[in-house]
């Protein structure tokens, strides 16, 4: 959803599975040394004294510190250092016997909240030191930025040559903006550099091995840490998995099918089942038609409305609608909010078509203040987890880090034809986000000279993978693919479930398996399936204002794992400036 004036973040999409490395490099990229192996750490980084300060409310028991790390681990004496923000929570009693790191994904998601989040899981709180950190590029660590880079305001479904030219030009201009404003750091925002930051944190904390919980893009980070530092690997849990055994392009190429499946096979049947309350259509096909008709109407005549007595403007067009729908696929708890918003937007668009902009504004003015606040809140939220292709990210550092990691890490085919061909192939089958495959700066990205070792799992302790069957952002097929090539891994499948981010409250069976593994090291002897509870019925009909508040309390505001982590991160960030 968009505010006016609109600051659009960078998007990312996928191309064909055939990978063709790019040719050439920018001047800044040519200076980067390949970091395809761990490097010996200079004494000055190991001898630094950390100053831990309370961060957040006292009840969180969280302490934060800044750690100095080299900008480039292969050139530690170049004189270019960065700062990494780290958080920790110690057990209430006694000395911790183990340490568990966490990462919320993105890549680029700030992670200071992982320490209090993991400490809130009762089994871990007893004898684990829980640790979070903001990866290089984002959060309270040294940032990169792409501020001012052109965004994808076009309609991805429009295949007219002039529209494709605009998309290609926006994609091509992304790297010059990002590189020019990031003070030389952009080429070094890679997984290869970040895993060495992690190991520096481990050494400064004084532990020989680490346990790890990584969600979404954090599964990629966890698998590469295992690959670079196998001798320091403890109990690793990878939840909602990218295919970390293949290039990034494979993960993003799978997203259109995942989001479409979640929308058509989960949301649409659920909305049709409760049509007497939701009024979106009495069959799944009718619900999808409601979305398609609304999309066409908002493309023909966007609505720009004022909220909260004119203090905020929100623009609704076809892209806004797609962002709303795809953003609400991450958790079933957002389904009621999505249904209410679709009905509202349908009424808003109909009022505008019949009576013009003033009639549409009267529709907004008739809403209670609490309902208007709910719409504004949902308009301003960030995607939590691996975001859809070409979608807005609220925090520029997070979006810039996302782009840097995914474009720098592994090769992408170069040139606009790859994305346009893939969009033409996937768009008709998976229209929700499939048409946006060419909205992708990586097709024009000059990578650093970096070749990372392929994760195989060989020689590692058991890795526990957790995956819901209808995950939209990291579809199940990715987990199955990585699992088949990752030696010693065990896969916990949650059937009848599509939430992105499972461990920590989505499924009791999966939580029990994960906690047992993290506390005792005991993993299932073979792959196992936990049965999900399905999608709950929408809340009983309530007055409009109360309904908006109810969906906020039980959805976005905190009862999914990744959103709880985001809430903790917000609570403990900003104390180290």
Helix (H, G, I), strand (E, B) or coil at 346: helix
Q: What global pTM score does this model have?
A: 0.91
Each residue's pLDDT, cut to its tens digit, for the chain (577 residues) gives 333 322 222 223 333 233 333 333 333 344 445 557 899 999 999 999 999 999 999 999 999 999 999 999 999 999 899 999 999 999 999 899 999 999 999 999 999 999 999 999 988 888 999 999 999 999 999 999 999 999 899 999 999 999 999 999 999 999 999 999 999 999 999 999 999 999 999 999 999 999 999 999 999 999 999 999 999 999 999 999 999 999 999 999 999 999 999 999 999 999 999 999 999 999 999 999 999 999 999 999 999 999 998 899 999 999 999 999 999 999 999 999 999 999 999 999 999 999 999 999 999 999 999 999 999 988 877 777 777 555 555 579 999 999 999 999 999 999 999 999 999 999 999 999 999 999 999 999 999 999 999 999 999 999 999 999 999 999 999 999 999 999 999 999 999 999 999 999 999 999 999 999 999 999 999 999 999 999 999 974 433 333 333 333 333 234 799 999 999 999 999 998 7
Residue 550's pLDDT is what?
Answer: 33
Please say whether the beta carbons of 385 and 500 come within 8 A. Answer: yes
* Dist. CA 555–CA 251, nearest whole Å: 27
Decide if 190 contacts 424 (C-beta within 8 A): no
Contact between 401 and 138 (Cβ < 8 Å): yes
Nearest Cα residue to 220 out of 17, 465, 434, 493: 465
Parallel, antiparallel or unpaired: strands 81-89 and 128-133: antiparallel
pLDDT of amino acid 2: 36
Distance CA 375, CA 320 (A): 13
* Tokens (6 digits) for 492: 């916990």
The CA distance from 433 to 439, in Å, is: 10
CA 12 – CA 171 distance, rounded (Å): 9
pLDDT at residue 394, rounded to an integer: 53
67, two tokens: 């750690």
What is the pLDDT at residue 389?
55
Q: Where are the domains of the chain?
A: 52-144+185-247+451-542, 251-380
User: Which residues, other chains included, contact 308 with Cβ-Cβ below 8 Å and sequence gap of 6+?
Assistant: 369, 372, 373, 376
The single-letter DSSP state of residue 42 is: P
Residue 56: predicted pLDDT: 95
Is 4 exposed, middle or buried (CB count within 10 Å of its CB: 0-12, 13-18, 19+)?
Answer: exposed
Q: What is the pLDDT of residue 17?
A: 31
Instruction: Using DSSP, state whether 340 is helix, strand or coil.
Output: helix
Are 174 and 182 in contact by the 8 Å Cβ rule? The answer is: no
Q: Residue 21 has what pLDDT? A: 33
Extended strands (E) in 251-331: 303-307, 312-316
Give the model's pLDDT for residue 393: 52
For the record, the structure tokens of 280 come out as: 């979106």
52-144+185-247+451-542, CATH topology level: Rossmann fold (3.40.50)
Q: Which of 157, 217, 175 is nearest to 383 (CA)?
A: 217
Tell me the torsion sign for CA atoms 512, 514, 515, 521. Answer: positive
pLDDT tens digits along 348-361: 999 999 999 999 99
Q: Give the DSSP H or E segment for 3.
A: strand 2-3
């Amino acid at each position: 959803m968009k505010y006016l004036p609109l600051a659009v973040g960078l998007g990312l999409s996928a191309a064909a599975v055939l990978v063709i490395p790019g040719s050439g490099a920018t001047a800044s990229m040519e200076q980067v040394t390949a970091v395809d192996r761990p490097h010996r750490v200079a004494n000055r980084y190991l001898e630094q004294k950390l100053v831990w300060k309370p961060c957040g409310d006292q009840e969180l028991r969280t302490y934060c510190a800044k750690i100095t790390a080299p900008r480039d681990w292969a050139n530690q004496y170049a004189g270019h250092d960065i700062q990494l923000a780290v958080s920790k929570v110690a057990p209430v009693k006694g000395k911790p016997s183990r340490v568990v790191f966490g990462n919320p994904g993105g890549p680029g998601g700030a992670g200071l909240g992982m320490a209090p989040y993991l400490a809130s899981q009762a089994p871990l709180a007893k004898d684990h030191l829980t640790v979070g950190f903001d990866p290089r590029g984002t959060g309270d660590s040294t940032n990169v930025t792409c501020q001012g880079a052109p965004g994808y305001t076009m309609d991805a479904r429009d295949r007219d040559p002039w529209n494709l030219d605009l998309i290609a030009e926006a994609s091509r201009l992304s790297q010059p903006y990002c590189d020019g404003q990031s003070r030389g750091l952009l080429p070094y925002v890679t997984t290869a550099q970040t895993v060495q930051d992690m190991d520096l944190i481990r050494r400064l904390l004084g532990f020989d091995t680490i346990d790890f919980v990584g969600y979404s893009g954090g599964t990629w980070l966890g698998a590469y840490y295992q690959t670079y530092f196998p001798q320091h690997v403890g109990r690793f849990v990878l939840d909602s998995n990218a295919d970390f055994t293949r290039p990034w392009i494979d993960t993003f190429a799978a997203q259109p099918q995942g989001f479409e499946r979640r929308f058509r096979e989960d949301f649409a049947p659920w909305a049709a089942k409760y049509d007497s309350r939701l009024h979106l259509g009495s069959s799944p096909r009718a619900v999808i038609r409601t979305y398609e008709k609304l999309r066409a109407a908002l493309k023909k005549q966007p609505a720009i409305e004022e909220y909260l007595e004119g203090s905020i403007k929100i623009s609704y067009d076809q892209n806004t609608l797609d962002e709303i729908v795809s953003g609400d696929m991450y958790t079933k708890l957002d389904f009621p909010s999505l249904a209410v918003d679709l009905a509202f937007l349908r009424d808003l668009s109909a009022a505008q078509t019949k009576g013009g902009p003033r009639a549409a504004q009267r529709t907004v003015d008739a809403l209670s203040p609490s309902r208007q606040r709910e719409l504004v809140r949902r308009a301003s939220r960030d995607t939590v987890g691996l975001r859809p292709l070409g979608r807005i990210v609220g925090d520029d550092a997070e979006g810039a880090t996302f782009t840097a990691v995914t474009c720098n890490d592994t090769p992408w085919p170069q040139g606009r034809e790859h994305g346009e061909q893939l969009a033409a192939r996937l768009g008709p089958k998976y229209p929700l986000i499939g048409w946006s495959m060419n909205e992708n700066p990586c097709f024009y990205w000059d990578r650093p000279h970096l070749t990372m070792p392929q994760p195989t799992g060989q020689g590692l302790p058991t890795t526990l993978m957790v995956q819901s069957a209808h995950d939209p952002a990291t579809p199940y097929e990715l987990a199955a693919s990585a699992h088949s090539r990752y030696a010693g891994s065990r896969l916990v499948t949650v059937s009848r479930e599509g939430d992105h981010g499972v461990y920590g409250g989505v499924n009791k069976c999966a939580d029990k398996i994960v906690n047992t593994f993290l506390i005792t090291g005991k993993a299932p002897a073979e792959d196992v399936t936990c049965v999900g509870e399905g999608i709950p019925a929408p809340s009983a009909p309530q007055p409009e204002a109360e309904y908006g508040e109810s969906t906020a309390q039980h959805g976005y505001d905190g009862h999914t794992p990744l959103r709880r982590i985001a809430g903790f991160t917000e609570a403990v960030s900003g104390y180290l400036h």
